[in-house]
A and B are shown apart, each in its own frame.
Chain A
Amino acid sequence: MSRRLLTINKLSVTFGGLHALKDLDFYVDEGEIVSVIGPNGAGKTTFFNMISGMVTPTSGDIIFKGESLLGLDPNQVTAAGIARTFQNVRLFANMTILENVMVAQHCRTRQGLWGALFQTRPFKQEEQEIREHGEKVLSFFGTRLIGYRLDQPAAVLSYANRRRLEIARAMATKPTIILLDEPVAGMNPKESAALTRLIGELRSEWGFTIVMIEHDMSVVRDVSDRVVVLDHGETIAHGTYEEVSTNPDVIEAYLGRPAKESA
C-alpha cells in the first residue's frame, strides 16, 4: 500500500449563505491519478482553490504529508509541493515561454539581491540550473515549446499550447502533487488523446501524483485510478470509473431526475 499524501477531513466553505463545499472528505495516495468530476457549479474549482490556499475553508482540515495546510498562503502551499493549473489559462502572457517556467522555480531557489548584484558563483550556477530545468520541463511536450519558441512571449501560443505551457509551469515548481483544472478543455479529440497519454507519463516518468478536474469522460476513463463525483458541494459518489459511471446518483446529477419522480 502506497503512502497517503493528502487527506481532507470534513472540509466546508460558505460564501455568504451559499455552501460551496459541504463536509467534503477526500484523500490521495502517492502515485495515484484521481479525477474530480461533477456538473457545472458543483464546487470543483473551489475545491482546488482551497487546496492551493487561494480560498480559506470555513471548517475542516487539509493534511498534506502529515501536516496541516490550513492558514498557509498559496506560495507556501506550492513550496510544500502542490502545484496547480488554471481552468481559464492564466499564463504570464508577456513573459517568454522560458521565463514562464523559470519564474515557477522561485520557491525552489534561494539567490537574492546580493547574488544578482555581485554575480556570485552560486548565483550563476543557480541561474544555469533554473534554465536547464526549465528546458527539461518544456521538452516534455516534444518540440512544441522549445527551440525558437523559448524566447517568444507566451501570448503567441495557440490555445492548446498554452494549456501545455501551464502544465509545464506547474511541473517546474517541482511538486509532489499536480492539480490539473480541465487540462484538455478546448482541445480537439486527437490533442486530448495525446495529452491523456502525457498525463499518464507525468506519473510513470516524473513520479507526480495527479488530481484532475475534467469534463471529458474519455480522458477520465483512460487515466483515472479513482473518480470522485461532486454535486452541490458534496461527494455523491466515489470509486473506479466503472463504478461511478453506473451509479444512479451520478446519472441523476448529470441528467436530472425523471419528471415523474420530481413531481
Chain B
Amino acid sequence: MSTEDRGPSMSTAFIEEPSDEELPARRMLDQDWRKVFNYGLLLALVLVFVALTNMPVNLDHRMLIEPIFSMGYLSLFWLPAVFGLVVCREPVLAGMPSHAKGSREVLAGSLVGLIGGAGLSVLTFLLDNFNLRDPLVNWSPQLLELLSFQRDTAFGIAIWLPVGLVLGTFGGLAHLLSATVRRMLSWAFASVIAFAIFETVILDLSEGFAWLGAEWLVEELYFIRGGLTMHGAAVLAVVGGLFAAFGRDRAHRAKERFDALEGTSRTRANAIGLLVVAAALVILPLFLGGITNELLANVGLFVLLALGLNIVVGLAGILDLGYVAFFAIGGYTAGILTTTNRGESWPDWMPQFYWGTALVAVVILAALAGLFIGAPVIRMRGDYLAIVTLGFGEIIRLLFLSDWLGGYTGAAQGVTNIPGVQVFGLATVKGTDPRAVFYLVLFFCAIAIYVSWRLERSRLGRAWMAIREDESVAEAMGINTVNAKLMAFVVGAVLASFSGAILAAKVGSVFPNSFIILVSIVILVVVIVGGMGNIAGVIVGSVVLIGILGGPRQPGLLQEFSEYKLLIYGVLLIWMMLKRPEGLVPNVRRTRELHQDEYLQDAWLRGEIDADSEHTDDSHSNGNTGVLPA
C-alpha cells in the first residue's frame, strides 16, 4: 500500500535527510523477536476481527478485477502486507546513519504474516467445529466458505498459513526495493484500486462526456457487471507506475515553483487556481449524472456544517458536541414555514412561505438559538463545556419530538410535504434534481468559505485565536471572552442552519431522527480528520469521509461499506490522532502547536531561533532558548 507516501510530510516539522553513510544490513536472525511476535498477534487479532464483522462476505460481491479479485478478499489481504512492511520500519533521523535493509526485514515480514495467517486458520477451525453463532452474531455461514476459498474446511485451515506468509513476505520485500520502484508499485496498485472503487463515478462521468467519443475506453476498462477487466487492470497498473516514475517529479517541480512564488505573483497564482476550481465546480456538474451530483450535494451539506463547526472548534477552541442542534433548527424552521402540511397547532391564517423568505427566519432563529444555548454554556471550559453542549444537542432533538411541541413539529412524524426551492422561476431545487441541489449548496458553501476566510483575518478572528491559546490571558488582555465566544457560537449556528434549510428542501421532510447525536460526532470527525482551523482541510475532510464513506444517513461512494462506516471512522480517527493529529490538510498554526518541539528544533537548525544577539558571550545564562516555560 502507499503507507510510505502518507508518512508525516510536514515540510517544517521534520527534516528528513538520511545521512549518506549506511551501516551494513543486520544478520537475518538478529531480530527483535518480541516485536515480531507482538505485531504478528496484533495482525491475527485484526484479521479475525475484520472477518467476524462479516466485512469480507458483504464486500465479496463487489468485484474489483473480474473474475479474480473481490473487495471481500482485499479487506483481508492488504493487512498482512502492511503489517509485514511496518514491523521493520524505523525512524530515520537527520544526519544519523541507518542500517541497510536485508534478509532480516524480509524474515520479520514473513513471520508476522505467518502468525496473522495462523490466526485465520484457527478462526476457520473454530467456526467449523463449534457453534459460535450465539456470542458472535455478525458473521454469516458464507464467511466459512469464503475463508476456505469455497473448498472444504481443511483446505481453508491449511491455506491461510502460506497465504499469510506470502503476503507478509511481500510486505517485507518492499524494504529491499529502491524508493522509485516502491513508489511505482504503490502507484500502480493504488491506481488499480482507485479505478475499481470509483467505478460508479467514472461510469457516470463517461456518460456525461459521451460526446468525446471515449466510451469504448470505459467499456474496455470495466466488466459489464462491475469490476475492472483483467487487461484494463493491467493497463491501469502500467500507467500508474509510469506516472510515478516520470510524471510525479514533474508535478513536484511544478509545486515547488508555485511555492517559490512570492508577493503579487503568488497572489495572482492563488487567484487563478481558485478561479479554475470554482469554474470546474460550476461547469462539471453539468456533465455528471444523478449519482455523482447527489454525492456532491451531500458532501456540500457537510462542508457547510463543518465550516461552521470549524469556526467554533477550530478557531475559537470551543469543543461543541451538540452542534447538530443548529442543523435541526434550520431544517425545522425552513420546513415548517414552507410546508403545505403544517402541524395542527399552527393558526390557519399563517401563510405558506417561500423558501427564501423562510431563510430570513432561519437565520434569525439560529442566531437566537446560538445565543440562548451559548449563554449558559460559554462560561464553562474544557470537558464540562463539551458535556453540556452534548446535552443541549439532545435536548433540542427531544423537544422537537415531545408532546409539548408535537403539535407544531409533528413529533415523530416530523414535517413532510416540504416543496422545493423556486429559483427566479427558472428551476425548482428539490431532491429529484440533485444537480440543482448541488448548485444551491455550492452557493451557500461559497458564502461560508468567504465568511470563514474574512473572519479569520479580522479583529474577531484574532480574539478567537487568543482565546484558544490561553483564555485567562486573553481576558486579561482586554478581550471580552464571553462576547467573542458567543459570536463564534452564533456564526457557527447560522452556517449550520443554512445546511438544515437546504436539507429540508432537498429531502422534502425533516424528522427528529435526522438530527441524532451521531451527526454532531460525524461533523466533528470531519473537521478533525480534515484539519482543524483550515478551510481547505475541512473541505477535504468532507470529501473523504462523506463523499467516499458516506454520512450518517447519506450513502457514499463505497456503499458496501455503509454498515462499517462508524468502525472505519473510529479507526481513521485513532490513526489520525496518533500519526497526524493536525489533520489531512493542516492549519500552519495548529501544526506548530502540536509539533512544537520539532518546529523549534527545525527553526534552530535553520538558525531562526534567536539567541540574544546582543551579548553572545553570556547567552548561555538564558539557555532556555526554544523551551517553553511551564
A residues contacting B by CB (< 8 A) are 52-54, 73-75, 78-79, 83-84, 86, 88-90, 92-95, 99, 102-109, 111-113, 115-117, 119, 123, 126-127, 130, 144, 149, 152-153, 155-161, 169, 173, 186-188, 190-191, 194
- A-B contact sample (11 more), CB < 8 A, given A74-B472, A78-B478, A116-B454: A83-B477, A92-B465, A92-B466, A94-B590, A95-B469, A99-B465, A116-B461, A117-B455, A158-B610, A158-B619, A169-B477
Q: In the complex, which of the residues A105, A126, A159, A188 contacts B625, with contact meaning CB atoms closer than 8 Å?
A: A159
- Does A106 lie within 8 Å of B622, measured CB to CB? no
User: Is B573 located at the chain interface by the 8 A CB criterion?
Assistant: no
- Report yes or no: A88 in contact with B459, Cβ–Cβ below 8 A: no
Verify A157–B610 contact, CB threshold 8 A.
yes
A55 smallest CB distance to B (angstroms): 11
B 504-536 binary contact with A (CB < 8 Å = 1; else 0): 000000000000000000000000000000000
- Please give me the 7 A-B residue pairs with the lowest Cβ-Cβ distance, nearest first: A107-B478, A116-B458, A78-B478, A92-B469, A103-B462, A159-B624, A74-B475
Q: Are B628 and A93 in contact (CB under 8 A)?
A: yes
The yes or no answer to B470 lying at the interface (CB within 8 A) is yes
Give A157 to B589 CA distance when docked, in angstroms. Answer: 16
Measured between alpha carbons, how far is A161 from B457 in the docked complex, in Å?
A: 26
**CA of A90 to CA of B474, assembled, Å:** 10
Q: Are A187 and B622 in contact (CB under 8 A)?
A: yes
**Interface of B: prevailing SS:** helix
Check A161 against B469 for contact (C-beta < 8 Å): no
Query: In the complex the two chains form, what is the Cα distance from A109 to B460 in whole Å?
Result: 10
B618 touches A156 (CB 8 A): no
Is residue B612 within 8 Å, beta carbon to beta carbon, of the partner chain? yes
Name B459's contact: one of A109, A156, A159 (CB within 8 Å): A109
- How distant is B551 from chain A, measured CB to nearest CB, in Å? 29
Given the interface pairs A94-B593, A155-B592, the reply to whether A130 lies near B610 with Cβ below 8 Å is: no
Within the complex, which residue of A73, A106, A153, A187 is in contact with B463, where a contact is CB–CB below 8 Å?
Answer: A106
Q: List 25 A-B contacts (CB under 8 A).
A: A54-B472, A75-B475, A75-B481, A78-B477, A79-B478, A90-B470, A93-B469, A93-B628, A94-B469, A94-B590, A99-B465, A104-B477, A106-B478, A106-B479, A107-B478, A107-B480, A113-B487, A116-B457, A117-B454, A126-B459, A155-B592, A155-B600, A156-B600, A156-B608, A169-B477
Contact yes or no, A75 B479, CB < 8 A? yes
Binding site for A on B (CB under 8 A): 450-451, 454-455, 457-463, 465-466, 469-470, 472-481, 487, 491, 589-590, 592-593, 596, 599-600, 603, 608-615, 618-619, 621-622, 624-626, 628-630
Q: What residues of chain A lie closer than 8 Å to B628, measured between beta carbons?
A: 93, 155
CA of A102 to CA of B593 in the docked complex: distance in angstroms? 20
B618 lies within 8 A of A116 (CB): no
Contact B476 A52 (CB under 8 A): yes
B460 touches A113 (CB 8 A): yes
In angstroms, Cα B454 to Cα A194, docked, is 41
B626 — nearest CB in chain A belongs to which residue? A156
Question: What's the Cα separation between A156 and B451 when bound, in Å?
Answer: 31
Q: Compute how far the CA of A188 lies from the CA of B619 in the bound complex, rounded to whole angstroms.
A: 8
The interface residues of chain A lying within 8 Å CB-to-CB of B622 are 158-160, 186-188, 191
B residues less than 8 Å from A156 (CB atoms): 600, 603, 608-610, 626
How far apart sit A93 and B599, CA to CA, in the bound complex (Å)?
A: 12
Q: Which of B454, B465, B612 contacts A95 (CB 8 A)?
A: B465
Contact indicator A54/B478 (Cβ below 8 Å) = no
Residues of A within 8 A of B475 (CB): 73-75
B476: contacting residue among A54, A149, A158, A194, CB under 8 A: A54
- Smallest CB-CB separation from A142: which chain B residue? B614
Give every chain B residue within 8 A of A144 (Cβ-Cβ).
610, 613
| B614 lies within 8 A of A191 (CB) | yes
In Å, the complex CA distance between A73 and B466 comes to 17
Q: Are A191 and B473 neighbours in the complex by a CB distance under 8 Å?
A: no
Query: A86–B435 Cα gap in the complex (Å)?
Result: 57
A188-B621 contact, Cβ under 8 Å, with A92-B473, A93-B469, A106-B478: yes
Taking the nearest CB of chain B, how far is it from the CB of A183, in angstroms?
Answer: 14
Asked if B615 and A106 make an inter-chain contact with CB atoms under 8 angstroms apart, the answer reads: no
Take A90-B470, A156-B626, A158-B612 as given contacts and tell me if A113 and B491 are in contact as well, using a CB distance cutoff of 8 Å.
yes
Given A94-B592, A130-B459, the answer on whether A89 and B612 have CB atoms closer than 8 Å is no
Closest B residue to A126 by beta carbon equals: B459
* B291 nearest CB across to chain A (Å): 36
Question: Is B465 a contact of A158 with CB atoms below 8 Å?
Answer: no
Given the complex of chains A and B, what is the CA–CA distance between A94 and B586 in angstroms?
Answer: 14
Cα(A126)–Cα(B459), bound, Å: 9
Contact in complex: B477, A173 (CB < 8 Å): yes
| A160, B461: Cα distance in complex, Å | 28
Contact B589 A111 (CB under 8 A): no
A191 to B622: give the CA distance in the assembly, Å: 11
C-alpha spacing A79/B477, complex, angstroms:
9
Complex Cα gap A220–B630 (Å): 26
